[in-house]
Structure 1
């Protein structure tokens, strides 16, 4: 079993943002403001300075880029850093569960699923990040990985939206799944299971043995789906966000 730090570093290779910079063991990432993972410092290991000074350095790095400073804090392992961010007045966001499962015993896809190396306009329409349409920078962030796969399920012809989309990247034998989205009008038809099954088969063909993904702790339908596919909780993380006045 991978450690928390190792799994976080592995997952970070699947969603890199547009610029990255090491800060000791920590990883500073910026991606035009699109998604927390692409625009936060990954707090694993040790920074090159005392924690209060590290918090100040992170704050400066993001503010000079016009971004609200944000830290991704995995637990267990980053308790001391989390306390330092809290002491500096950084807000705490909700828990995100990091789940893992072996790529074995998943069902066959129940519908046709197309796979592409890049997200076309159709896919970008289908991916609703936190319920909203994507900003222009999203495409660049989505492509910032080695050989990502973009899956689409279409049940009706345009102008109907895609019924479901998802994205996957294989990193060191692990399938890292992101962007699973089922359009509201097509839900409860097993489409999320279908795209996960297709991603699993695609990744297994590339030597993957396991899968990891992240889901917010309040997303009960997604958690129920992933439990049926054999996922269990590996660890959790949350974001710390600097005060808006910083």
Structure 2
């Protein structure tokens, strides 16, 4: 089985990472759960002690302890352990995959090696849920080589991370006033074709289960469900 958790961690690198009891504790000043959560990739000798250490790590940084729970979470009973401690399950997410073809990118999609300010503005206008978080978000995005696509005069954007045979698709966003014009499809096709030309053979992306519109777009492009994950978040005042 493909280790999607490892691919996702590499494609969305947190600026600060600590190894605690074999778990990877990621911190990015609160910008995105992915970069501010525990990736429990190894089996700790004492799971309760590892959970307490992770909680202390995030609470010292004024962040709510959050765990990424995917197929590779260790120990296997971690999700149940966290539930018993009062952690809430949030953001059930699908990992979708598709084979790549040799389709030529549409001529009205621009692709660059770095996110322009216009690209950032478009993405942040849709996904910018974090106060004063854009500089940290830029550090995350540029923490690994990636390609940045834009269409519709910059109204639609997306990011793709080449990872050997795999291409990770992230940051798909369309400004509200530009939706229902096929721009997301244009950006996606451009990123997939560009990745194929650079040696990728398969693509993956993550989408929350509740995002019906995005799931329809990706299904039409040939993506199917390969894995699932969610987060466990400690409510305020718990513990």
> In 1, Cα distance between the equivalents of 2:114 and 2:101?
27
1:119 and 2:107 equivalent?
A: no
1:159-194 Cα offsets, whole Å, 9 max, x none, are: xxx310111111132111111001111112211111
- Structure 1 segments, 4+ long, off by >6 Å, are none
Instruction: Point out where structure 2 has 5 or more consecutive residues left out of the alignment.
Output: none
| 8 Å CA contact 1:177, 1:211 repeated in 2 | yes
TM-score (norm 1): 0.87
3-state secondary structure, aligned to 1:195? helix
Farther off after superposition, 48-57 or 123-132: 123-132
1:212-234 Cα offsets, whole Å, 9 max, x none, are: 11001011111111111111111
Residues 20-39 of structure 1: matches in 2 within 5 Å?
Answer: 20-39=17-36
Number of aligned residue pairs = 234
Residues 51-200 of structure 1: matches in 2 within 5 Å?
Answer: 51-75=47-71, 79-104=76-101, 108-110=104-106, 112-127=108-123, 128-130=125-127, 132=129, 135-136=133-134, 137-145=136-144, 147-155=145-153, 162-200=154-192
Deviation at 1:111, TM superposition (A): 5.2
3-state secondary structure, aligned to 1:240? strand
3-state secondary structure, aligned to 2:95? strand
1:228 and 2:220 equivalent?
A: yes
Aligned to 2:233: 241
Deviation at 1:102, TM superposition (A): 0.9
1:80-139 Cα offsets, whole Å, 9 max, x none, are: 01011111111110311111111127x554451112222221111100454647723211
Deviation at 1:59, TM superposition (A): 0.6
Instruction: Point out where structure 1 has 5 or more consecutive residues left out of the alignment.
Output: 156-161
